[in-house]
Amino acid sequence: MKNILLYILLLICLKTFAQPYDQKFGKISMAEMEMKTCPIDSSAEAVVLFDIGETKFEYNTMTDRFELIISRHVRIKVLSKDGLGWANTSLYLYHKSRLEEKLNSFKGYTYNLISGKIQKDKVEKDGIFREEKDDNRTIVKITFPKVVEGSVIEYQYEIMSGLTYSLEPWSFQYSIPVLLSQFTIGIPEYYQYNTHISGYESVDVQDKSGDRTVVITGTSKTQGPYYTQNKSVRNEFKYYEKLKIFTAQNVPAYDNDAYIDNIDNYLSKVYFELAFVRFPGELQENYTTSWEEINKKLLDDSDFGKQLDRGSYLKDDLNAFLGNTDKPEEKLIKTISFIKDKIKWDNKYRLYTDVGVKEAYRNKVGNSSEVNLNLVIALREAGLEAYPVILSTRSHGLVMEWQKTISGFNHVIACTKIGDQFYYSDATSPFNMYNVLPTECLNGQARLIDLKNGNWVDLIPKTVSRESQYAIFKIDNNSTVTGKVVTSYKDYYAQYLAEMIKGDDSLKHRKEKMSKSFNNANIDSLRIKFGENGIPEAKEYYQVKMEDVSQGNVDIIYLSPLLGFTLTKTPFAKQERKFPVNFTFPQDESILVKYSLPENYKVDEMPSNAAFSMPDGKAKFTISYNTVGNELVIKSKITIPNTIYISSDYPTLRGFFDEVIKKQNEKVILKKIQ
Alpha-carbon distance of 370 to 360, in angstroms, equals: 6
pLDDT at 302: 94
Say if residue 643's pLDDT is above 80: yes
Same domain for 161 and 75, yes or no, is: yes
Beta pairing class for 465-475 and 587-596:
parallel
Same domain for 149 and 265, yes or no, is: yes
Cα distances (angstroms) measured from residue 429 to each of 24, 335, 368: 54, 14, 10
pLDDT at 7: 40
419 by Cβ neighbours in 10 Å (0-12 / 13-18 / 19+) ranks as exposed
What phi and psi values does residue 515 have, to the nearest 5 degrees? -60, -40
HEC string for 319-339:
HHHHCCCCCHHHHHHHHHHHH
Report yes or no on 25 lying in a domain. Answer: no
pLDDT at 223: 66
From 250, 277, 304, give the residue that closes a domain. 277
Same domain for 501 and 644, yes or no, is: yes
pLDDT at 227: 62
pLDDT at 111: 98
Residue 29 or 61, more confident: 29
- Nearest Cα to Cα of residue 177 among 53, 77, 261: 77
pLDDT at 224: 63
pLDDT at 479: 87
Q: What is the mean pLDDT of residues 540-565?
A: 88
pLDDT at 229: 66
Q: Is 325 helix (H, G, I), strand (E, B) or coil?
A: coil
Alpha-carbon distance of 470 to 541, in angstroms, equals: 10
Say if residue 215's pLDDT is above 80: no
Comparing 183-187, 261-265, 374-378, 543-547, the range with the smallest average pLDDT is 261-265
Beta-bridged to residue 486, according to DSSP, are: 470, 541
Domain CATH number, residue 391? 3.10.620.30
Q: Is 513 helix (H, G, I), strand (E, B) or coil?
A: helix
Same domain for 399 and 484, yes or no, is: no
Say if residue 286's pLDDT is above 70: yes
Residue 575: alpha-carbon gap to chain centroid: 23
Going by C-beta distance under 8 Å and a sequence separation of 6 or more, which residues neighbour residue 183?
52, 53, 54, 55, 170, 245, 246, 270
Same domain for 446 and 470, yes or no, is: no
pLDDT at 219: 65
Same domain for 314 and 165, yes or no, is: no
Q: Strand runs (DSSP E) across 39-124, as ranges? A: 46-60, 65-78, 88-96, 99-114, 117-122
Same domain for 269 and 296, yes or no, is: no
Same domain for 316 and 404, yes or no, is: yes
Give pLDDT tens digits for 393-407.
Answer: 999 998 887 777 788
Say if residue 136's pLDDT is above 90: no
Same domain for 429 and 504, yes or no, is: no
Confidence of residue 322 (pLDDT cuts 50, 70, 90): very high
Report yes or no on 364 lying in a domain. Answer: yes
Give pLDDT tens digits for 474-492.
Answer: 999 888 999 999 999 999 9
Going by C-beta distance under 8 Å and a sequence separation of 6 or more, which residues neighbour residue 10?
none
What phi and psi values does residue 275 have, to the nearest 5 degrees? -90, -50
Neighbours of 516 (CB within 10 A): 12
Report yes or no on 549 lying in a domain. Answer: yes
Say if residue 5's pLDDT is above 70: no
pLDDT at 2: 44
Neighbours of 416 (CB within 10 A): 25
Confidence of residue 228 (pLDDT cuts 50, 70, 90): low
Q: What is the mean pLDDT of residues 588-602?
A: 94
Report yes or no on 75 lying in a domain. Answer: yes
pLDDT at 233: 67
Say if residue 250's pLDDT is above 90: yes
- Nearest Cα to Cα of residue 413 among 391, 430, 398: 391
Say if residue 605's pLDDT is above 80: yes
C-alpha gyration radius of the chain: 32
Q: What is the mean pLDDT of residues 361-371?
A: 96
Same domain for 184 and 301, yes or no, is: no
Q: What is the mean pLDDT of residues 381-410?
A: 90
Neighbours of 484 (CB within 10 A): 15
pLDDT at 522: 96
Helices (H), 343-489: 357-363, 368-381
Count up the domains in the chain and report the number. Answer: 3
From 430, 458, 486, give the residue that closes a domain. 458
Give pLDDT tens digits for 68-96.
Answer: 999 999 999 999 999 999 999 999 998 87
Alpha-carbon distance of 146 to 124, in angstroms, equals: 12
> H/E element holding 543?
strand 537-546
Say if residue 29's pLDDT is above 70: yes
pLDDT at 19: 52
Cα distances (angstroms) measured from residue 329 to each of 118, 175, 209, 415, 422: 73, 47, 61, 13, 11
Same domain for 634 and 652, yes or no, is: yes
pLDDT at 82: 96
Residue 287: alpha-carbon gap to chain centroid: 27
Q: What is the mean pLDDT of residues 557-568?
A: 92
Identity of the residue numbered 299:
L
Q: What is the mean pLDDT of residues 319-331?
A: 92
Say if residue 13's pLDDT is above 50: no
Beta-bridged to residue 417, according to DSSP, are: 385, 422
Say if residue 462's pLDDT is above 50: yes
Domain CATH number, residue 577? 2.60.120.1130
Say if residue 416's pLDDT is above 90: yes
194-198, 294-298, 431-435, 468-472: range with highest mean pLDDT: 468-472
Alpha-carbon distance of 98 to 120, in angstroms, equals: 40
13-22, 200-209, 254-263: range with highest mean pLDDT: 200-209
Percent of the chain scored above 70 by pLDDT?
94
Q: What is the mean pLDDT of the chain?
A: 91
Long-range contacts from 649-654, C-beta under 8 angstroms, 24+ separation:
649/581, 649/614, 649/618, 650/572, 650/576, 650/577, 650/581, 652/614, 652/615, 652/618, 653/572, 653/581, 653/614, 653/618, 653/619, 654/570, 654/572, 654/577
Alpha-carbon distance of 668 to 603, in angstroms, equals: 7
Alpha-carbon distance of 343 to 361, in angstroms, equals: 6
Alpha-carbon distance of 408 to 142, in angstroms, equals: 28
Report yes or no on 38 lying in a domain. Answer: no
Q: What is the mean pLDDT of residues 572-592?
A: 95
Alpha-carbon distance of 240 to 190, in angstroms, equals: 9
13-27, 308-322, 545-559: range with highest mean pLDDT: 308-322
Confidence of residue 6 (pLDDT cuts 50, 70, 90): very low
Domain CATH number, residue 247? 2.60.40.3140
Letter string b/e over residues 227-262, b meaning 16 or more CB atoms within 10 A of that residue's CB: eeeeeeeeeeeebebbebebbbbbbbbbeebebbbb
Residue 512 or 505, more confident: 512
Confidence of residue 267 (pLDDT cuts 50, 70, 90): very high
From 252, 277, 302, give the residue that closes a domain. 277
Comparing 133-147, 204-218, 645-659, the range with the smallest average pLDDT is 204-218
Letter string b/e over residues 359-391, b meaning 16 or more CB atoms within 10 A of that residue's CB: ebbeeeebbbbbbbbbbbbbbbbbebebbbbbb
Say if residue 610's pLDDT is above 70: yes
Same domain for 377 and 262, yes or no, is: no
Residue 191 sits in which domain range? 44-207+242-277
Confidence of residue 366 (pLDDT cuts 50, 70, 90): very high
Confidence of residue 225 (pLDDT cuts 50, 70, 90): low
Going by C-beta distance under 8 Å and a sequence separation of 6 or more, which residues neighbour residue 556?
550, 604, 669, 670, 671, 672
Report yes or no on 337 lying in a domain. Answer: yes
pLDDT at 14: 42
pLDDT at 20: 60
Alpha-carbon distance of 624 to 594, in angstroms, equals: 12
pLDDT at 64: 86
Report yes or no on 213 lying in a domain. Answer: no
Report yes or no on 583 lying in a domain. Answer: yes
2-11, 117-126, 549-558: range with highest mean pLDDT: 117-126
pLDDT at 220: 64
Say if residue 10's pLDDT is above 70: no
Q: Is 554 helix (H, G, I), strand (E, B) or coil?
A: coil
Alpha-carbon distance of 265 to 262, in angstroms, equals: 6
Say if residue 9's pLDDT is above 60: no
Identity of the residue numbered 492:
Y
Confidence of residue 218 (pLDDT cuts 50, 70, 90): low
Say if residue 500's pLDDT is above 60: yes
Q: What is the mean pLDDT of residues 300-321?
A: 93
In this prediction the pTM is: 0.85
